[in-house]
Homo-oligomer: A and B are copies of this chain.
Amino acid sequence: MKTFDVEVRVWLKPSVFDPQGHAVEQALHTLGFDGAQNVRIGKYMHLTVTGESEEEARKSVEQMCERVLSNPVMETYAYELKETGV
C-alpha cells in the first residue's frame, strides 16, 4: 500500500458568477491594488490517500472530486498527486 499527497483545486465554471471574487476584487482596488483583475475564489483541499498504485489512487481521487469535493453543476476541479516521502 502506498500513500499519496493530494492537492485539489475547485473553482466555479467561468459562466457562473462569483460574487465573492467580485467583492474581493473591488476591495483590492480600493486598497490601491489597481492591477488586480479577474479575481475568482474557489477551494483548495489537501489530503492523503492510499492505494496499491498511483493509477488506483488517481481513480479514487477523481471519484471523490466528482462525487464529494466538487459540485459538477457549477464547479470544475483539478488535482495533483504525488507519492509521499518519495
Interface residues of A (CB under 8 A from B): 9-11, 21, 24-25, 27-28, 31, 33, 35-51, 57, 60, 63-64, 67-69
Decide: B39 and A60 in contact? CB cutoff 8 A: no
Decide: B33 and A60 in contact? CB cutoff 8 A: yes
Among residues of B, the one whose C-beta sits closest to the C-beta of A4 is B35
In the bound complex, how far is the Cα of B64 from the Cα of A46, in angstroms? Answer: 23
Known: A31-B67, A63-B33, A68-B24. A47 touches B42 (CB 8 A): no
Decide: B46 and A40 in contact? CB cutoff 8 A: yes
A60 → chain B closest CB, angstroms: 6
A24 CB contacts on chain B under 8 angstroms: 45, 68-69
